[in-house]
Structures are given as structure tokens and as C-alpha cells.
Amino acid sequence: MSALRNLVFKAIRYAGLPFLFREMYQRKQVTIVMFHDPAPEAAEAAFLYLAKKYNIIGLDDYLEARRGSRRLPEKALIITLDDGHAGNRALLPVLEKHKIPVTIFLCAGIVGTNRRYWFKHKDPAISTEALKQVSNREKLQRLAAVGFTPDREFPAPQALDAAQIHELKPYVNFQSHTVFHPCLPKCSEAEAREEIFQSKQLLELKYGLHINALAYPNGDYSDRDARLVEAAGYDCAISVDYGFNTLTTDPFRLKRLSIDDTDNPDAVCVKAAGVWTLLMNLAGKRRTSGNMEVLKQPALAIT
């Protein structure tokens, strides 16, 4: 991060805004934060900061509380990581040492293979942001034209392999992030259904996991996608809509705050309290998604 950016986060932190948000909004609500592929040192610093200011709970603890079989602590916070990047294996010593529960959302068609995430395929002829705006079918056609197909195997893996998933399993709640990480609202009904239903079946069958949650790729979903997730037998789905959750928040539209993988504790402090996204939204960096306009995270870095 740049020195100026660091200074901005420090100023917001020590001006007391995150403290106010924690006391006013987060005390009685459940905060969910999202990382992707943090280095172990950055993850350890971020997780330890969060553990100091919040009560870290597992996603399953929250689901149990919704069913009435558990009480949640105040300032409950759930840590999630999206995509199932191979780098997540390096977090094992951190998770083992500090016993911090995390949920990792896996792309069922990419983990355990040498296939790649489409959004990591860089070619001068394509723009990742532009590809998020077109139909899934057109996106796949444009990617195929530059040598990428979802089932093409490359020399090295980008995602966790089967052995790594089994190693991490005692410390990680693995859940679904669809099969190939499409923008669900840009999929046909058949495509969305396959991505949502098949990812649950694949992960349960291949890795013996109990899949009850799905994180929408890019946080994007439509009413149809939320209905499909429920029909597939999931208990909840997580977006990147701005805000915090209660026991009565729509379980298929859970809210989540984004934290960058390289953020230092000042930035983690400001973002986990919901202050950063709110300031960004007030500054006009609002984006539209699905069929509704909601306060969203800045689009950058959301995968």
C-alpha cells in the first residue's frame, strides 16, 4: 500500500470511527469479512487484529444460532476466503497455531485440477471487467478466442489440490463458490442451475464435505440465483452487499465486507467495521449489480 493510503487508514482508525461502528452497529450483529489469497504473515496480522476486537465464530455457529440451538457472542465476526487459491495451503500453520475458524469457498471445477480461474487469464485482447458485463456464453466465446477454456489443464495448478484440501479440513469449513466462477446473473437459467447444484454435489462426492453455504462469485446474484441456491439445498448464500447480519437477515442474501489481502491492521480495522465501504459509497463509487442497485463494495479486487 502507498504511504498516503496507509496514512488515510491510520487517520480514520484513530479518529475513532471504527470504534463507533463496532459499538453502535456491530455489537448486536454478525459481521462477515472476505479475503482471497493473503500471504501467511498478512493473514496472521489481520486475523489476530480481528480476534482482538471481535469474537470470531464459524459460519456453522451462525447457522446454528439461526436455528435457535446456540447463542452468539457480541461482536461476532466470520472470516471467509473466496476461490480456493493454492496459496491458502500456506495458512495452515496460522490456523493451527491460533485456532481461528475460517470458511473457504471452493470453485468445485477448479480445485483438484490444473484448470485456471478465468479472471486470472490475462490477454491484451480481453478485459476482465468487460467480460463480467456480457452473457456467460459470450464471455466463454471471447475467452476461447484467446486460448482459455474452463476445462483446459495448464502445467501448474492455481487452486488447492485434493491433498491440500484434506490437510486443511480439520481447521477449515470448506463451502461452495460454484463450479467455474461465472457471474451468475449473466448465466442462462440452465447454466446457473448447473453451477449451483453441481458444485455442491461435486464437493460432497469428491472431498466428503458437507456443503451448506455458497458464496456468489463477485458477490453478484439475481432473485433467480437466490431461489436456485435454496432449491439446491443450501442453508445460506453470501453476497458482498454492504452491511451486517442478524439472525433474521435473508439467509440467501447475507452481507459481507471486503478486505484486501495485503491490508495492514489499520486498513483491516477500518474495513471490518464497515467504515471504508460506506465512505467509498458516499464518495460515489457505487456499482450496480444483478437487478437491483445496492450499496456494494468497490468493484476492484472482488473475485
**Which residues here bind Zn ion, judged by CB under 5 A?**
82-83, 217, 303
Question: CB 103 → Zn ion: shortest distance, Å?
Answer: 13
Closest distance of CB 83 from Zn ion, Å: 4
- Nearest residue (CB) to Zn ion, 184 versus 273: 184
Q: Are 46 and 91 in contact (CB under 8 A)?
A: no
Residue pointed to by grid coordinates 453478484: 220
Least separation in angstroms between residue 217's CB and Zn ion is: 5
In the complex, the smallest distance separating the C-beta of residue 67 from Zn ion, rounded to whole angstroms, is 27
Nearer to Zn ion, 83 or 266 (CB): 83
- Shortest spacing between CB 180 and Zn ion, in angstroms: 11
22 or 200, CB closer to Zn ion?
A: 200
**202 vs 269, beta carbon nearer Zn ion:** 202
Write down the least CB distance from residue 85 to Zn ion, Å: 9
Select 60 or 82, whichever has its Cβ closest to Zn ion: 82
- Closest to Zn ion by CB, 29 vs 173, is 173
Task: Return the number of the residue (29 or 175) whose C-beta is nearest Zn ion.
Answer: 175
Cβ–Cβ < 8 Å for 302, 219:
yes
CB of 178 to Zn ion, least distance (A): 9
